[in-house]
Amino acid sequence: MRTVILGERPHVLDEFIARRQALGQDTFDEVWDGEYHVAPGPSAEHGRVDYELNALLLPRARAAGLVGTGPFNLGRHDNYRVPDGGLHRGRPSGVFLPTAAVAIEVVSPDDETYAKIDFYAAHGVDELIVADPLHRTVRIWQLVDGKYDETGQSDLLQVSAAELIDGIDWP
């Protein structure tokens, strides 16, 4: 369900956001060009696929010299997305990261995963891996001339979507 409030933001909404932040419930919330998106925490199925995918990618990431993170803020404080994970060159630090080598997303019902694709491309994320627990699919895009091309192959991690699909113990 989407809720849109036109005009000035009510004070009660600021209190709601502040309470989410104080309780640590805002981990997956995002800001899209100044518009606050409240996202629920992941389901057990989402978490399981995320865990499985990370187990498959970790040795490949290390071999490629990439450092993994869980969810992180990609962008700036006034415009950021929170992928489920990322693989980075060097040692990322700080609250907001400008880019990643690989962004990893696990689709949840009614989420905005596919609406984030252009944002990731604009921020120079080299590859995007999206796993969908419901459909038991993995899709891989590579950044080519500033736009994503769905290749089904990660050159950075030397793995195909088919290999990841076969390697995940799907819920």
State the pLDDT at residue 99.
Answer: 98
131: in domain: yes
52: in domain: yes
2: in domain: no
162: in domain: yes
Q: What are the residues whose beta carbons fall under 8 Å from the beta carbon of 65, sequence distance 6 or more?
A: 89
* 133-156 per-residue burial string, b: 16 or more CB within 10 A, e: under 16: beeeebbbbbbeeeebeeeebbeb
Alpha-carbon torsion angle 135, 102, 35, 114, nearest 10: -30
Per the structure, the count of domains in the chain is 1
3: in domain: no
CATH of the domain at 124: 3.90.1570.10
35: in domain: no
> Comparing C-alpha atoms, which of 58, 19, 36 is closest to residue 112?
36
State the pLDDT at residue 4.
Answer: 73
| pTM of this structure | 0.91
- 83 lies in which domain range? 41-167
Per residue of the chain (171 residues), what is the pLDDT tens digit?
A: 567 777 888 899 889 989 998 999 888 899 998 888 988 888 999 999 999 999 999 999 999 999 999 999 999 999 999 999 999 999 999 999 999 999 999 999 888 999 999 999 999 999 999 999 999 999 999 999 999 999 999 999 999 999 999 999 999
State the pLDDT at residue 1.
Answer: 59
